A and B are shown apart, each in its own frame.
Chain A
């Protein structure tokens, strides 16, 4: 086994084999629900009113500041604009569009056929296309691109997909590596990166081969095959694994001279620049032991989880959790009416067997959490001090550096809810409560 190139980490069973490794195009549903905030930042203002006719790809929400516009994913009529539950938890103002079934699209206006554009032009195109980090972070991609100007030498495409179960990026690379590489090549040229690395974990040989097969068409792009280990796909850990550099505490990847883009995000950038197509559909894995036919679907943004689950043969009886995202960092959902958003890479249906009930969690100070923490924190002591609301020790032990990857909680034999407590601790510190 090759040595892991970042600190700590765990190796949960990959469970990737549950899904069929193809992309099935899912018919657009009767209604889509488009939340006006699908990214980290400010909520969009609706650009349409109830009763308006909209076209597929039409911008229907935008705003000022750190805000990414949203687009209609079907053509039809705006039926309602109301608060609805979003998969990130909490309610967000959402535009409900009744699909007319015609998929009438706004005329596509490619930005450039060759991709010889400036960084400002790229940032603007990416913003107008509504692109956010599609690996789950939903960070505005425009901000990343603008911030990278003259600051980076290394560009990394994140195809690790280190969370168990999820296959969305894997199938995307297997299916259309060329489109992805065109986007990556564009980023490399525009951001003037001297090194461009596609990082894929070694448990995805098909994706690696698909990318390698297309590689001769492009110059100066390398494929890095990473030994499979969670959380390799975390930005900080991937930078460490690929370059040996560390992102300074409290800093951003550009502070380590790097920019990291998820492979689905890169593909969306290619679509936006070369085809003028905004981000309104994406690949989602619907998987887990709790769903009858796990599969990977190309889904319109705004499709409800229910719709996806029905397409996959429905939930099994012993389902206890439906999660947006993966089993390590995903968010459990209370309602299946929540829609797929730009950052939804997976709808995971877990049974009671996969997620056991925890009673009476106890720390035995075994120290296993220290061994796996990719930031090298002391989770067990942070757990203790956060419980005591000891703000000084929480700061001294660097709680704010926790990336909430869940590795500590995964290995904990005492079954402590570590991540939950750390989130609470960070909130207390931010609010100045301790």
Chain B
């Protein structure tokens, strides 16, 4: 009789990392489908390249650093997918490849690997691309326009002002709220359709992969700040456009909720989300780019551990939680 000895508990729940990542991938499908519909098959090619580079990059990094190979947990697929969705459809095909490699090797791998990286890999890579290839990351085309399958020379792209460009003026965009809600608007491939993102978000909440805390705090704070500091004739309209434009929805649902780079304490999550919102509006109002979601979330990523320490819960049987020094 060969009996196994091990520490309790002897039974485990069904959840596993792979299943969670698969859920995120499933949740991103509506966004990917709408993105492809709006911005042609180029979107699929960009996505495949980004995902492929992320998986291969992670595999290579694990081999080189002699860490265990974890591509089976699908987290690299999620990173590749998220990065692709933050790019305009007009980018040359080397952009997603470079970005995905940077995401999995520098931000995630050197950052400590899954669960340990301080910054969201996809957003870290996007910030990197924005610095090195600014031309390519701000060229937006009309929805449902024709795009060639091959690389497009920069001068051939007829760039269009996104709703956020209008709002930077400041002026309300000439696109209807309904169009922005369903995705009939210029922008990055994964950010145009609020409804697709919300469907994915609802799926993640239903599957208990994420809670509503961070997305609601984020969107709520953008709503309040843009309402109070409205630049439009109608503060309510200004608020509605602020919520539906740019990468806010994608950021609030899929980026700010990233496990590794966000706080774990409930109250810390609320504050984190709220501050993401404040920073986003601040970047939009005062920054050189019309959008600020990427940098807002990255800055808050750096603050998550600190927020967790500040908002640590009172534990059972202690009147006030003891002060905890920083990591």
Cα distance A258–B35 in the bound complex, in angstroms: 61
Tell me if A321 and B115 are in contact (CB < 8 A).
Answer: no
> A227 an interface residue at 8 Å Cβ cutoff?
no
Q: For B316, give the chain A residue with the smallest CB separation.
A: A375
Tell me if B17 and A410 are in contact (CB < 8 A).
Answer: no
- B16 contacts which chain A residues (CB < 8 A)? 413-415
B186-244, CB < 8 A from A: none
> A147 an interface residue at 8 Å Cβ cutoff?
no
Cα distance A409–B312 in the bound complex, in angstroms: 21
- Set A249, A333, A370, A412: member contacting B264, Cβ < 8 A: A370
Q: Would you give the 0/1 interface string for B1-18, flagging 1 where the beta carbon is closer than 8 Å to chain A?
A: 101111111111101110
Q: Would you give the 0/1 interface string for A76-118, flagging 1 where the beta carbon is closer than 8 Å to chain B?
A: 0000000000000000000000000000000000000000000
Tell me if B264 and A378 are in contact (CB < 8 A).
Answer: yes
> A331 an interface residue at 8 Å Cβ cutoff?
yes
Q: Would you give the 0/1 interface string for B312-324, flagging 1 where the beta carbon is closer than 8 Å to chain A?
A: 1111111000111
Given contacts A364-B259, A397-B324, contact A420 B264 (CB under 8 A): no
Tell me if B324 and A327 are in contact (CB < 8 A).
Answer: no
Tell me if A404 and B316 are in contact (CB < 8 A).
Answer: no
Cα distance A209–B16 in the bound complex, in angstroms: 39
> A65 an interface residue at 8 Å Cβ cutoff?
no
Q: Interface with B: A35-43, A153-161, A240-248, which one?
A: A240-248
Cα distance A345–B28 in the bound complex, in angstroms: 48
> B65 an interface residue at 8 Å Cβ cutoff?
no
- B327 contacts which chain A residues (CB < 8 A)? 393
Given contacts A363-B115, A370-B265, A376-B313, contact A332 B3 (CB under 8 A): yes
A365 to chain B, nearest CB (A): 4
Tell me if B260 and A365 are in contact (CB < 8 A).
Answer: yes
Q: Would you give the 0/1 interface string for A320-357, flagging 1 where the beta carbon is closer than 8 Å to chain B?
A: 11110001111111111000000000001010001110
Q: Interface with A: B67-75, B83-91, B165-173, B274-282, which one?
A: B67-75
> A406 an interface residue at 8 Å Cβ cutoff?
yes
A376 to chain B, nearest CB (A): 5
B100-138, CB < 8 A from A: 113-116
Q: For A8, give the chain B residue with the smallest CB separation.
A: B316
A400-434, CB < 8 A from B: 401, 404, 406, 409-415, 417, 419-420, 423
Cα distance A104–B322 in the bound complex, in angstroms: 59
Q: For A331, give the chain B residue with the smallest CB separation.
A: B8
- B1 contacts which chain A residues (CB < 8 A)? 315, 336
Cα distance A12–B3 in the bound complex, in angstroms: 24
Tell me if B264 and A375 are in contact (CB < 8 A).
Answer: no
Size of interface on B: residues with Cβ below 8 Å to A:
43
A224-275, CB < 8 A from B: 236, 240, 246-251
Q: Interface centre among B12, B15, B17, by most A CB within 10 Å?
A: B12
- A374 contacts which chain B residues (CB < 8 A)? 316
- Set B70, B308, B316: member contacting A7, Cβ < 8 A: B316
- B15 contacts which chain A residues (CB < 8 A)? 368, 411-413
> B19 an interface residue at 8 Å Cβ cutoff?
yes
> B33 an interface residue at 8 Å Cβ cutoff?
no
Given contacts A328-B11, A366-B20, A376-B316, contact A321 B3 (CB under 8 A): yes
- Set A321, A360, A381: member contacting B70, Cβ < 8 A: A360
Tell me if A376 and B315 are in contact (CB < 8 A).
Answer: yes
- B10 contacts which chain A residues (CB < 8 A)? 321, 323, 327-328, 330, 332, 348, 350, 354-355
Cα distance A41–B17 in the bound complex, in angstroms: 42
- A30 contacts which chain B residues (CB < 8 A)? none
Cα distance A335–B327 in the bound complex, in angstroms: 44
Tell me if A415 and B12 are in contact (CB < 8 A).
Answer: yes
Tell me if A378 and B316 are in contact (CB < 8 A).
Answer: no
Q: Interface centre among B7, B10, B308, B312, by most A CB within 10 Å?
A: B10
- B260 contacts which chain A residues (CB < 8 A)? 364-365
Cα distance A419–B323 in the bound complex, in angstroms: 24
Q: For B319, give the chain A residue with the smallest CB separation.
A: A248
Tell me if A354 and B11 are in contact (CB < 8 A).
Answer: yes
> A1 an interface residue at 8 Å Cβ cutoff?
no
B1-50, CB < 8 A from A: 1, 3-13, 15-17, 19-20
B267 to chain A, nearest CB (A): 12
- B316 contacts which chain A residues (CB < 8 A)? 7, 236, 240, 246-247, 249, 374-376, 401
- A397 contacts which chain B residues (CB < 8 A)? 324
- A331 contacts which chain B residues (CB < 8 A)? 8
Tell me if A332 and B5 are in contact (CB < 8 A).
Answer: yes
> A362 an interface residue at 8 Å Cβ cutoff?
yes
Cα distance A360–B70 in the bound complex, in angstroms: 9
- Set A362, A377, A380, A396: member contacting B17, Cβ < 8 A: A362
Tell me if B7 and A419 are in contact (CB < 8 A).
Answer: yes
- B115 contacts which chain A residues (CB < 8 A)? 362-365, 414
Q: For B324, give the chain A residue with the smallest CB separation.
A: A396
> A10 an interface residue at 8 Å Cβ cutoff?
yes
- Set A336, A360, A423: member contacting B68, Cβ < 8 A: A360
